[in-house]
């Protein structure tokens, strides 16, 4: 192989590498703010894991906790931020809710504790701890005569100084009651029933395994470990007439708020929120063909015309090379102009430079091919 052929091969390989790098930098699909590919029901676990890492839990994902006073038992759930909080409480008959902003918190703090100087996050931690302790010595709950408002008073000591706080609950909206009580409890019952069926199936499989061992002549070393084959009907009747069944009814199912129940509540509501997000994304994508977009507020706006593809925006020299006629490019109407941000302008300029560079590279490649033909002759 002579030197001319070696140099020609090296040049060709270099051109191929440069061409691949250029094409990899150019996105074949323009970045359209209306273009969105939602992650739907059967999405990969990686998408959900990424969402969980960035997602901030809200009030409906916080579990209920017991709040007991001298005359009544309440269920309460709270969600605290560094400078504000949300608060939902119920006596299983009515629901009260409060969402306090940073400015409202500062005003109420100044009114109830005018001489107190402490960071806001420390005060909120103190309020949260008093609710968690569930001590009747520090908590007092009062209702208005018409029960339209509920007040939770906290009287304690903060850093050796008397501290007073009032949580004012207004009647909660019906949708909030559904999202925080009805839906989660139905999900918990359904999930626990599903797990029970799975456990029953596991027990039946274990019974088959034990019978197989016995058929092979295996015997227990301790007779007290022997069990009867599992019977679902017998089990259900035994649970129905047990003392624990009656005790649980008397407690109104409050055992569901133990640590394991709270963990199940959180897991279910987190999954529920993720599936709601996917359903919303699916609904938004179904409106893409209508030329309209739906804002979070529910307002529908017209969407700008779709931008032409990159193949329709190539210069004439490359269009001929790739087999794309000029008429095909002209059939696409130019999109209506709209104000663009500086970031979009920079992106457009970058793409234009890359296109120009690609054209120059194609011209150089054509010249080198001509030279190779002359050398071959």
pLDDT of residue 159: 83
CATH of 63-172, one of 3.40.50.1370, 2.170.210.10, 2.70.180.20, 3.40.47.10: 2.170.210.10
Please report which confidence band the pLDDT of residue 356 belongs to, taking 50, 70 and 90 as the band edges.
Answer: confident
Q: Looking at per-residue confidence, does 100 or 331 come out higher?
A: 100
* Lowest-pLDDT range of 141-155, 223-237, 293-307: 293-307
Distance separating alpha carbons of residues 131 and 138, to the nearest angstrom? 9
pLDDT of residue 323: 52
Q: Residue 27: how many CB atoms within 10 A of its CB?
A: 11
pTM tops 0.85, yes or no: no
Q: Please report the DSSP string for 282-321 in residue order.
A: HHHHHTGGGTEEE-TTS-EEEPPPPPPPGGGGS-HHHHHH
Parallel, antiparallel, or unpaired: how do β-strands 300-302 and 161-171 relate?
unpaired
Tracing tokens 């599936």 back to the chain, one arrives at: 275
- Domain chopping of the chain, boundaries: 3-32+306-331+350-376, 63-172, 176-278
* Lowest-pLDDT range of 163-167, 184-188, 339-343: 339-343
pLDDT of residue 16: 52
Q: Looking at per-residue confidence, does 266 or 37 come out higher?
A: 266
pLDDT of residue 233: 94
Q: Quick: pLDDT tens for 18-45.
A: 554 444 444 443 333 333 333 334 445 7
* Lowest-pLDDT range of 36-50, 159-173, 185-199, 341-355: 36-50
Q: Looking at per-residue confidence, does 212 or 284 come out higher?
A: 212
Closest CA to 315 of 347, 350, 363: 363
Would you say residue 75 has pLDDT above 80?
A: yes
pLDDT of residue 103: 95
Distance separating alpha carbons of residues 226 and 126, to the nearest angstrom? 53
| Burial (0-12, 13-18, 19+ Cβ within 10 Å), 210 | middle
pLDDT of residue 9: 52
Give the mean model confidence (pLDDT) for residues 229-237: 94
pLDDT of residue 26: 41
Give the mean model confidence (pLDDT) for residues 223-230: 91
Would you say residue 329 has pLDDT above 50?
A: no
Within 13 Å and on the Cβ side, how many CA atoms surround 313? 18
Separation in Å, CA 18 to CA 13, 154, 311, 320, 372:
9, 70, 20, 21, 19
Please report which confidence band the pLDDT of residue 367 belongs to, taking 50, 70 and 90 as the band edges.
Answer: confident
Cα 48 to chain centroid, rounded: 7
Q: Longest Cα pair distance anywhere in the chain, in angstroms?
A: 106
pLDDT of residue 7: 53
Q: Quick: pLDDT tens for 272-292.
A: 999 998 988 888 887 765 555
pLDDT of residue 350: 77
Cα 349 to chain centroid, rounded: 35
Give the mean model confidence (pLDDT) for residues 151-171: 92
Distance separating alpha carbons of residues 30 and 43, to the nearest angstrom? 24
Name the average pLDDT for the chain.
78
Q: Please report the DSSP string for 162-205 in residue order.
A: EEEEEEEEEEPPHHHHIIIIIHHHHHHHHHHHHHHHHHHHHHHH
Would you say residue 351 has pLDDT above 80?
A: no
* Partners of residue 162 on adjacent β-strands: 157
pLDDT of residue 12: 54
Give the mean model confidence (pLDDT) for residues 362-366: 82
* Lowest-pLDDT range of 113-122, 231-240, 340-349: 340-349
Give the mean model confidence (pLDDT) for residues 133-139: 74
Helix (H) or strand (E) holding 99: strand 95-100
| Alpha helices for the chain (secondary structure H) | 3-25, 45-54, 102-112, 120-133, 174-177, 183-215, 232-240, 243-250, 259-286, 316-321, 326-330, 342-376
Would you say residue 335 has pLDDT above 60?
A: no
Give the mean model confidence (pLDDT) for residues 219-228: 90
Give the mean model confidence (pLDDT) for residues 232-261: 90
């Amino acid at each position: 192989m002579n030197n001319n052929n070696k140099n020609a091969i090296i040049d060709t390989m270099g051109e191929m590498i440069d061409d691949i790098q250029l094409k990899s930098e150019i996105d074949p699909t323009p970045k359209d703010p209306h273009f969105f590919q939602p992650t739907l029901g059967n999405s990969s676990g990686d998408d959900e894991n990424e969402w969980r890492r960035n997602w901030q839990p809200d009030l409906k994902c916080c579990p209920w906790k017991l709040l007991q006073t001298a005359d009544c038992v309440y269920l309460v759930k709270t969600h605290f931020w560094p400078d504000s909080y949300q608060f939902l409480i119920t006596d299983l008959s009515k629901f009260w809710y409060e969402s306090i902003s940073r400015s409202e918190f500062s005003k109420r703090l100044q009114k109830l504790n005018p001489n107190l100087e402490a960071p806001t996050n420390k005060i909120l931690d103190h309020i949260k701890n008093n609710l968690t302790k569930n001590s009747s010595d520090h908590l007092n709950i009062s209702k208005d005569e018409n029960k339209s408002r509920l007040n939770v008073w906290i009287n304690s000591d903060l850093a050796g100084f008397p501290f007073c706080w009032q949580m004012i609950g207004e009647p909660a909206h019906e949708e909030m009651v559904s999202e925080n009580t009805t839906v989660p409890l139905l999900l918990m019952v359904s999930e626990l029933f599903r797990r029970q069926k799975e456990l029953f199936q596991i027990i039946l499989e274990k019974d088959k395994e034990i019978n197989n061992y016995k058929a092979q002549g295996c015997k227990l070393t301790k007779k007290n470990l022997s069990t009867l084959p599992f019977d679902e009907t017998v089990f259900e009747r035994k649970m129905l007439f047990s003392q624990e069944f009656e005790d649980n009814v008397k407690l109104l199912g409050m055992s569901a708020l133990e640590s394991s129940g709270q963990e199940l509540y959180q897991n279910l509501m987190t999954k529920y929120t993720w599936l709601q997000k996917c359903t919303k994304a699916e609904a938004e994508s179904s409106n893409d063909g209508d030329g309209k977009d739906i804002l979070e507020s529910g307002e529908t706006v017209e969407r700008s015309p779709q931008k032409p593809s990159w193949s329709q925006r190539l210069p004439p020299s490359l269009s001929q090379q790739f087999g794309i006629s000029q008429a095909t490019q002209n059939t696409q109407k130019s999109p209506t102009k709209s104000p663009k941000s500086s970031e979009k302008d920079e992106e457009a300029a970058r793409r234009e430079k890359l296109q120009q560079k690609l054209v120059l590279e194609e011209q150089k490649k054509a010249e080198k091919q001509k030279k190779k033909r002359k050398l071959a002759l």
